[in-house]
Structure 1
Amino acid sequence: MSDPSMPLAGIRVLDLSRVLAGPICTMILADLGAEIIKVENPDGGDETRGMKPPEAGGEAHFYLGVNRTKKSVAIDISTPEGRELIHKLAAECDVLVENYRKGVMAKHGLDWEAMRDRHPHLVYCSISAYGRESPLADLPGFDPIIQAESGMMSLNGEPDGEPMRHALAIVDTMTGYYSTIGVMAAIMTQKETGRGQFVDVALFDVALNTLTNVGMYYFTSGKVPERRGNGHPTSVPNGLFQASDGPFYIALANQRLWKRFCEGVIDRPDMVDDPRYRTLSDRIARRDEITAFLRDLFATRTRAEWLARFNKAGVPGGAVRTVDQALESPEAAARDMVRTVAHPTAGSIRMVGSPLKLSATPVTEPVAPPLLGQHTDEVLAELLHLDADALATLRKAGAIG
């Protein structure tokens, strides 16, 4: 049972999602105090359990990254007994989250229409590639495909290179965030009316929404945005530069920062009022000239020397770190962003913590992602009052693992 002071204390979520977007959504809900019952196929469970190496204690890194603080219940929904267990659990839950292809849940009688009739209180969140009402609703879709189709990939990469996908599953991740927002909004209405609703979240929709200012660039100018690599279309200087010993990134988004940069970082106060560089438009017109000048200048000092100047002047600049450098940084430690938890088979593991910092109701202490079916008997006994004989019968029928 979660801490009653937590924001989502008392909320129970039946999680039929797998892989990334859905598990990210339910992990955030778990961080905020909801009880997450992760339903997995007894034969292998969540597909990410098999995405090895690397692994810890037999558990894949991919799975471990997005399933903390959940309970795993192994139920085979292809069996009549398994489907009935889902209905019985749904009666005890506030939310159901699933991300199967269209038609899969309907085939098992577990789609929104069936669940709405039997469990009108239930918030039903369906995550899919293109949305349940779309010309492409029947098609599978994965993060890099959606990056390509949404225009996102066309923006990534060097100007004279090929379009490039983002190295992270950014669409899946953002979809997990938006699904969380949708679920919490529906819970608020549920608490007022006693009724649930359908929350339909599509990776494609989220990817389009993530275009933000780039989308508005097209709408307002009628022009197709171009790839600029590490540059920025409306900010100069902005980009990646090399110090004498390594790369760093700078971003000067306004006139105030340009003044600080010239006076406090590069010791060129004359450039502030130089008519060639006075306004942002002037600097954009002379992008190549300014970039070449700074490239030569930055190569004369170490990265630490330059960043010390940036910091003292209050100008945004940061070292280009590797993943290990970022996770082991003093900033990560100060923000409590790397947590160590006890794991049933790995002994202890480190994982990235929640970024949410709430003063009155801090997020729950993380618990290691569960082993497959670790909580099957516990959950079914506690919520459905099934005794040992009933559990043995279900196990013999192949309904549970």
Structure 2
Amino acid sequence: MSAGNHLRPLCGYRVLDMTRVLAGPYATMLLGDMGADVIKVEKPGCGDDTRSWGPPFVKSESCYFMAVNRNKRSIAVDIKQPKGKDIIREIAKKSDVLIENFVPGGLDKLQLGYEDLRKIAPSLIYCSITGYGSDGPLAKRAGYDVVAAAMGGLLSITGHEDGEPVRVGVAMTDIATGLYAHGAIMAAILQRQKTGKGQKIDCNLLSTQVAVLSHIGSNYLIAGKEANKWGTGHESIVPYQAFKTLDDGYLVVGGGNDQQFSSVCKILGMTNLSKDGRYTSNKDRVKNRRSLVATITKRILEKTMSEWLEAFEGSGVPYGPVNSMQETFSNPQVIHNGMIQEVDHPVAGKIRIPGPAVKFSSHSSNECIAPPLLGQHTEQVLKEVIDYEDATIAQLQKEQIINK
């Protein structure tokens, strides 16, 4: 880890990462960003599924894998072999947290489940991430982001009003589950300081998706209101959506209250709209959404993106362009916020990856270690964490229990 790692909040904590793909690796990456020693367990020969997800690749390395695996050490261990299981048990004894996302019961069959490990590591915080829950009628189903998003209602509210369901461009259900897991683990660490005991945490994609339906879910549960798709618009606020500009860009403009709506009308040169009885209050504007949106759409089409950005600057109105990746990572505020990290990768060379969203006053978040090669740290971890000798490591490699 970097020289300033001792200042990070989780310095001195160890995380045994038995996850793959996105939700789990995202959670462990956040813990690694905060200074935890994250030991990523991978299958010899192939590793995390996302190592093969591409293109794009840089040399032999997947950009997808590198997106969510910074600040980790990789060990390649065959956990189906008795000696491989022993390695996991020994590291678990020296760890604060274990995170896994096997099918429910998968690690139980290998004698590496929570009930097995709590006997030898009673202070271990054991976090399981599944598709639908650790038990129940759907527990054994394979969990994937888009399926959980579909079953949890997100796809029914995403897309144009009369169009087909649309998948969100990033696997937000996976990522939100990783965030829930990360937060729950932090809370369990605090609780362990009081009790001295570990516990099991269950997170799943379906519950996450239902929880983050937020007001759309409560609209149904409280008021019995079924949800609709609104494109870039908002069910309860008008105007609050993207409008096409003269040069084919899209400008998002929001009028979250009457004062902001009045400012929007002034900038558009259409002050008469704010005095029109059909649009006086937000309730009126929602009721007369179609006519108002049509009028604003026609007006914004008359000028270019740069002209509108200049007009809205300093107005206090929420606004912004729909940016491409190139425009996003060229944005001065994104750069100022340190959202691009440069690291030296042993195979890919100098690479840039998205940085952490949260900053601490105690340390710099700009330093990190590169996403690891498969099994890059196997020998190092076995020696440092569980005191294996060279001869033992050599024998394990000969027996194909590990790769290093």
Residues 7 and 361, structure 1, Cα contact 8 Å, conserved in 2 = no
Residues paired across the two proteins, number: 400
Q: What one-letter code is carried by the residue in structure 2 that aligns with 1:159?
A: E
1:207-286 pair list within 5 angstroms:
207-245=209-247, 246-263=249-266, 265-286=267-288
1:382 pairs with one of 381, 384, 402: 384
Q: What is residue 78 of structure 2 aligned with on the other side?
A: 76
1:345 pairs with one of 326, 344, 347: 347
Matched, 1:17 2:23: no
Q: What is residue 38 of structure 1 aligned with on the other side?
A: 40
2:312 pairs with one of 304, 310, 320: 310
Cα distance in 2 for partners of 1:140, 1:110 equals 20
Cα distance in 1 for partners of 2:276, 2:78 equals 71
Q: What is residue 52 of structure 1 aligned with on the other side?
A: 54
Q: CA RMSD in A?
A: 1.3
Cα distance in 2 for partners of 1:355, 1:89 equals 30
2:160 pairs with one of 138, 158, 163: 158
What is the SS of the residue equivalent to 1:127?
strand
Residues 364, 70 of structure 1: alpha-carbon distance in 2 compared, 3 angstrom cutoff: farther
Q: What is residue 373 of structure 1 aligned with on the other side?
A: 375
What is the SS of the residue equivalent to 2:375?
coil
Residues 20 and 173, structure 1, Cα contact 8 Å, conserved in 2 = yes
Residues 153 and 163, structure 1, Cα contact 8 Å, conserved in 2 = yes
User: TM-score w.r.t. structure 1 length?
Assistant: 0.97
Q: What is residue 200 of structure 1 aligned with on the other side?
A: 202
CA deviations over 1:60-87 (Å, ceiling 9, x no partner): 1111100001000111101000000100
Q: What one-letter code is carried by the residue in structure 1 that aligns with 2:33?
A: D
Q: What is residue 329 of structure 1 aligned with on the other side?
A: 331
CA deviations over 1:211-232 (Å, ceiling 9, x no partner): 0010011122212111111221
| Larger displacement relative to structure 2 (354-363 or 129-138) | 354-363
**How far apart are residue 243 of structure 1 and its match?**
1.3
Cα distance in 1 for partners of 2:98, 2:165 equals 37
CA deviations over 1:298-325 (Å, ceiling 9, x no partner): 1111111112222231211111111221
Cα distance in 1 for partners of 2:273, 2:295 equals 12
**How far apart are residue 332 of structure 1 and its match?**
1.5
Q: What one-letter code is carried by the residue in structure 2 that aligns with 1:318?
A: G
Cα distance in 1 for partners of 2:159, 2:101 equals 30
Cα distance in 1 for partners of 2:364, 2:190 equals 20
Matched, 1:93 2:119: no
Residues 363, 133 of structure 1: alpha-carbon distance in 2 compared, 3 angstrom cutoff: farther
Cα distance in 2 for partners of 1:259, 1:220 equals 32
User: TM-score w.r.t. structure 2 length?
Assistant: 0.96
Residues 345 and 370, structure 2, Cα contact 8 Å, conserved in 1 = yes
Q: What one-letter code is carried by the residue in structure 2 that aligns with 1:262?
A: C
2:139 pairs with one of 137, 147, 152: 137
Q: Give structure 2 stretches of 5+ with no counterpart.
A: none
Residues 79 and 398, structure 1, Cα contact 8 Å, conserved in 2 = no
1:111-190 pair list within 5 angstroms:
111-190=113-192
Q: What is residue 66 of structure 2 aligned with on the other side?
A: 64
Q: What is residue 396 of structure 2 aligned with on the other side?
A: 394
| Larger displacement relative to structure 2 (364-373 or 36-45) | 364-373
What is the SS of the residue equivalent to 1:187?
helix
CA deviations over 1:320-379 (Å, ceiling 9, x no partner): 111221122222211110111001011111100001111224436121100001000011
Cα distance in 1 for partners of 2:107, 2:73 equals 21
Cα distance in 2 for partners of 1:72, 1:276 equals 61
Cα distance in 2 for partners of 1:360, 1:81 equals 41
Cα distance in 2 for partners of 1:325, 1:224 equals 36
Residues 229, 204 of structure 1: alpha-carbon distance in 2 compared, 3 angstrom cutoff: same
| Larger displacement relative to structure 2 (309-318 or 114-123) | 309-318
Cα distance in 2 for partners of 1:243, 1:79 equals 61
Residues 148 and 209, structure 2, Cα contact 8 Å, conserved in 1 = yes
Residues 44 and 402, structure 2, Cα contact 8 Å, conserved in 1 = yes
CA deviations over 1:7-62 (Å, ceiling 9, x no partner): 11111000010110000000000000100000111121111111121111311111
Cα distance in 2 for partners of 1:278, 1:367 equals 55
Q: Quote the sequence identity (%).
A: 38
Q: Give structure 1 stretches of 5+ with no counterpart.
A: none
CA deviations over 1:236-273 (Å, ceiling 9, x no partner): 1121211111221112111121122122x112333333
Cα distance in 1 for partners of 2:68, 2:305 equals 35
